[in-house]
A and B are shown apart, each in its own frame.
Chain A
Amino acid sequence: MLSVETYQTIAEADAAMGQGGRYLAGGTIVMRAVNYGDQSFHRILRATQPERGIGSDANGVRIGAATTMADILGHADVAFLHPIARLIGGPAIRNMATVGGNLFAQNPYGDMAAALLALDAKVEMSNGQAQPIESFLMDRTHMRGLVNAVSIPRPQPGTFFFRKVSRVKPKGVSVMSVAALLRHGDARVVFGNMAPCPVRTKAAERALASGANPGTLEAACAVCTEGLSPVDDALASAWYRMQVAPVHLRRLFETGKVF
């Protein structure tokens, strides 16, 4: 039997989490679990005043965990995230789904988390501590504590790339997503839905560290599946995903520039 506990702030909800609790933000993950009889939790905790909104300064942007995909689409300071937000769900989902929730979205969802991993975001917990999104995602199934906000260094124009591969148009879930950030002497290349959580592919990053040109891209494509461990699902087999991952990495740089 479920119970619902309503708190004012996310810190209060965090303090009350305890056994059998699941935090509800936009509802697109937790209510789906409720509808399908998930027995792993029996308490739903929510906050009436979670951090929602986008702030920016010279260095980057800070996005409250309760900020929805529609909020992102309505805010010019995060124009570099608009193409990703627009690819998530339909309009109703975008009015509900939050940035914080996307960090916990299981495959085949979590396109925004993949983009944030490429963008070198930091995840700020409700206790005030921040950690790199990479270690956060690796550890998310054992996570203790709630997410308060995400901060992102602002990408330089022309450096951020994102591509979502889906079979159903105009809207379909990801076969995979690919994201990259090319900074001076440093590349971050991320695959979503190709491992238990969005992951960087370090071999491809090394190949692209000096920038993307036909030579480095060829080298990156040859090694980009190292460390990936996709699974078979209704959309594609693991084998297929491994075969086409290099194709989509190449197309990422041909057509995927978003900012």
Chain B
Amino acid sequence: MAKTPVTFTLNDAEAALFVDQGAPLIDVLRRGSGDLTPKQGCSQGTCGACTVLIDGVPHLSCLTLADTVQGRHVQTTGGLAEGPDLHPLQTAFMEGFAAQCGFCTSGMLMAAKSLLDRTPNPSRDDVIEAISGNLCRCTGYEPIVDAILTAAAQIQRRPVR
């Protein structure tokens, strides 16, 4: 079966890839472009580990047909840091011990980034709602919520892009 060409912006770079017909976006990101930050968890939309932002809005890359991101902007955890400088969310997760096994972390970060982009000063309930589609099977939710609130305060003091 012929492959389909798809071009999109992946973080800050243009990506042009040939994708298998019917392939989900996560396959194209991980195998095609080598961005291993979105994690393949359940493949059925339950766990949220594969969460990426498409045109700034959270989507599950395991349930997104790769063809549909043609011409769009895809953001992954791989694009959060600026060079050696981690994004405040990444720093807060690291310093707040918000990652245990780490498998859910990438999806949590993208769900949290989407929240903070829209709601710079979220309440604790806002944070819980924002990550409600992301499962942490280490059940370390409290440090994750704390880290997102810490990052929000940090970004208020020193805005990031």
Assign chain B's interface to a size class: 20 to 34
Is B62 in contact with A92, judged by CB distance below 8 angstroms?
Answer: no
Assign chain A's interface to a size class: 20 to 34
**Please, which residues of chain A bring their CB within 8 A of the CB of B59?**
92, 95-96
- Of A2, A6, A31, A92, the contact of B133 (CB 8 Å cutoff): A92
Summed over the interface, the residue pairs from A and B with CB atoms below 8 Å come to a total of: 86
Q: Chain A 1-31, CB within 8 Å of chain B: the 1/0 string?
A: 1111010000000000000000010111001
Is B133 in contact with A93, judged by CB distance below 8 angstroms?
Answer: yes
Contact of A53 with B by CB under 8 A: no
B:1-51 near A, CB below 8 Å? 1, 4, 20-22, 24, 43-45, 48, 51
Is B1 in contact with A3, judged by CB distance below 8 angstroms?
Answer: yes
- Of A24, A27, A91, the contact of B129 (CB 8 Å cutoff): A91
B:64-83 near A, CB below 8 Å? 64-65, 67-68
Q: Chain B 96-138, CB within 8 Å of chain A: the 1/0 string?
A: 0000000000000001001000000000000011111110000
Is B1 in contact with A31, judged by CB distance below 8 angstroms?
Answer: no
**Please, which residues of chain A bring their CB within 8 A of the CB of B63?**
26-28, 31-32, 35, 96
Contact of B88 with A by CB under 8 A: no
Is A35 in contact with B24, judged by CB distance below 8 angstroms?
Answer: yes
**Please, which residues of chain A bring their CB within 8 A of the CB of B22?**
2-4, 34, 44
Can you report 15 A-B residue pairs in the complex whose CB atoms are below 8 A from each other? Answer: A3-B21, A4-B65, A26-B63, A28-B63, A31-B24, A31-B63, A32-B43, A34-B24, A44-B22, A46-B68, A89-B45, A91-B132, A95-B58, A96-B64, A170-B129
- Within the complex, the shortest CB–CB distance from B89 to chain A, in Å, comes to 16
The CA of A148 and the CA of B153, in the complex, are separated in Å by 45
Is B129 in contact with A44, judged by CB distance below 8 angstroms?
Answer: no
Is B45 in contact with A32, judged by CB distance below 8 angstroms?
Answer: yes
- Of A2, A26, A27, A92, the contact of B48 (CB 8 Å cutoff): A92
Q: A91-B114, A95-B57 are in contact. List 15 more A-B contacts (CB 8 A).
A: A2-B22, A4-B21, A4-B65, A26-B63, A27-B68, A31-B24, A31-B62, A44-B65, A46-B65, A90-B131, A90-B132, A91-B132, A91-B133, A92-B60, A93-B60
